[in-house]
Structure 1
Amino acid sequence: MAANQPRWPSEWLMTDERMGDRLFEAIGRMPRGGGIVFRHYGLGAERRRQLAHEIAAAARKRDLQMAVAEDVVLGDEVGAVLIHNPARDPGNRSFSRSAHSEEEVRDAVRAGASLIFLSPIFPTRSHPDRAPLAPEEVRRILADCPARVIALGGMNRALFLQSEQAGFYGWAGIDAWLSQTNGQY
């Protein structure tokens, strides 16, 4: 891990269209200093841009860091600290990558990703057809990975605390932030 890396949040909200009107409720449950990965891939360009600006304003009010998925220009426009899975070369901007295997983690490290969102760690509603990674594979990935790895997939704060010794830097979720228990089940 590079010494010049900024201190990234250890708790993240991954947005998507399934959240509907509860998106800002979830943002309100995020701890100060947490992070939001704005995805909402299915929206039209103008609606996605508008929603990104609304989320960026909410993030600033709550001292949250924001990442924008794929769109480097939109990320710059809203002041995102990261571009998640950039669709084009992010230039000198920090970026994160999703990974679902040891090979994808290696690719993300080679590309220079600041954070890697590894999934699925547990069964997840957003990808019910995808089996969780085997615990041995997760341990092997984390043991050899020089980058910061965020646990994703069926995660919440309680599960993260149980798996923290595995070497994850943090965790991310969708449904966990819609729970009345602020990320804990």
Structure 2
Amino acid sequence: MPRRHPSTLPRLWLMTDERLGERLWPALAALPRGSGVVFRDYATPPTERRARFARVLATARRRRLVLVRAGDTPMRGEMGVHNARGRGLRTASAHDRAEIVAARRGGADLVFVSPVFPTRSHPGARTLGPVRLGSMMRGAGMPVVALGGMTAARMRRLGGLSLHGWAAIDGLDSESRP
């Protein structure tokens, strides 16, 4: 399957998470049209997860956001998949060079590389920082999106790395809006 041209892929992404709770809705509202959303919510029971997905999907359609779902359970209306098999846009996550290579070989259209900076979702985890991120990206052969403690200011700081874009988990507040 041919990969999508990078110009058609979102540059800003929101990764959903149960910790967001009701803060998810303002975070979705803060995304500019054409941004992406990876619906994760892994720990949510199936019935609630489907209902939450349906609400996110309605918002995504209204706001013209690209919505992909994580996990192996298909959801009606998804535009692609994250770390799963399925149709449409395919995204993957990577924490080291081998996972970037595996994502490319597996047919992913773009890869989220993390954690770039310290993040509340993985306190104390070893971060990549700009130098290791740049080294991992070299020759990736696909668009790379930075994830982990990312804000618009941090994305500007990484400007020399030719990243395709950035993603946030905790949402987008006034500091992190593009």
**TM-score (normalised: structure 2):** 0.91
The one-letter amino acid paired with 2:149 is G
Offset at residue 36 of structure 1 (A): 0.7
Partner residue of 1:106? 101
Aligned residues: 176
Q: Relative to structure 1, is the Cα distance of residues 129 and 117 closer, same or farther in structure 2, using a 3 angstrom cutoff?
A: same
- Describe the SS at the equivalent of 1:68: strand
Is residue 136 from structure 1 mapped to residue 131 from structure 2 by the alignment? yes
Q: Which has the higher contact order (CA 8 A, sep 6+)?
A: 2
Given that 1:121 and 1:132 are in contact with CA atoms closer than 8 Å, whether structure 2 keeps it comes out as: yes
Which residue number in structure 1 is paired with residue 177 of structure 2? 183
Q: Is contact 1:116-1:147 (8 Å) kept? A: yes
Question: Aligned partner of 2:81: which letter?
Answer: I
| Runs of 4+ residues over 2 Å off in structure 1 | 2-6, 134-137, 180-184
**Residue in structure 1 matching 2:168, options 147, 152, 173:** 173
Q: Residues of 2 paired with 1:48 and 1:102: CA distance?
A: 32
Whole-angstrom distance in 2 between the partners of 1:66 and 1:28: 14
1:1-185 paired onto structure 2 within 5 Å: 4-5=4-5, 7-71=8-72, 73-74=74-75, 77-78=76-77, 80-86=78-84, 89-90=85-86, 92-177=87-172, 179-183=173-177
Between the aligned partners of 2:16 and 2:3, the Cα distance in structure 1 is 29
Percentage of matched positions with identical amino acids: 37
Which structure shows the bigger proportion of residues in helix conformation? 1
Contact 2:3–2:108 (Cα < 8 Å) also in 1: no
| 1:4 CA drift (Å) | 4.7
Instruction: Indicate the SS of the match to 1:117.
Output: strand
Q: Give the drift of 1:182.
A: 4.9
Query: Using the alignment, how far apart are the partners of 2:80 and 2:90 within structure 1?
Result: 5
Q: Which residue type is aligned with residue 69 of structure 1?
A: A
Q: 1:3 to 1:94 in 2, by over 3 A?
A: closer
Normalised to the residue count of structure 1, the TM-score between the two structures is: 0.88
C-alpha deviation, 1:174, in angstroms? 2.0
Letter in 1 for 2:41: H
> Structure 1 residues 73 and 146, CA, compared in 2 at 3 Å: closer, same or farther?
same
Asked if the contact 1:11/1:34 (under 8 Å) is kept, the reply is: yes
Report how far residue 3 of structure 1 moved.
7.1
Q: CA RMSD in A?
A: 1.8
C-alpha contact (below 8 Å) 1:13/1:174 kept by paired residues? yes
- How far apart are residue 140 of structure 1 and its match? 1.8
Can you give the 5+ residue segments of structure 1 that lack an aligned partner in the other structure?
Answer: none
User: Secondary structure of 1:36's partner?
Assistant: strand
Q: CA deviation at 1:183?
A: 2.7
